[in-house]
Amino acid sequence: QVQLVESGGGLVQPGGSLRLSCASSRNIFNINHMGWYRQAPGKQRELVAAFTSGVISYADSVKGRFTISRDNAKNTLSLQMNNLKPEDTAVYYCNAVENSGTFWGQGTQVTVSS
């Protein structure tokens, strides 16, 4: 079992920045897939950015603006979000996939509005 807790969401103006963090209850070194997903009202949950087998991937809509990183020593996954746009408004979820299953955090709200 892996428990994931997100933090760092909030209200920000367009063009602003936020940094999301995801704390894992255990060591993440051997977790093959960890990523950030988001779900806007009335829309399906979508991948934002992820590490999979050491390879980083981003949704086209966030390339050049968002940066995913992981700190295996601190068991944390982060998402630096710059130049935020109103269309980035969503609940952001941390995700981990390993042999024992798929795990999700409770989500953190990001609202981009003037």
For the chain, 114 residues long, give each residue's pLDDT as a single digit of tens. Answer: 899 999 999 999 999 999 999 999 989 888 989 999 999 999 999 999 999 998 999 999 999 999 999 999 999 999 999 999 999 999 999 999 988 899 999 999 999 999
61-82 confidence digits (pLDDT tens) = 999 999 999 999 999 999 999 9
DSSP three-state, residue 114? coil
**Residue 33 one-letter amino acid:** H
Beta strands in the chain (DSSP E): 4-7, 10-12, 18-24, 33-39, 46-52, 55-58, 66-71, 76-81, 90-98, 101-104, 108-112
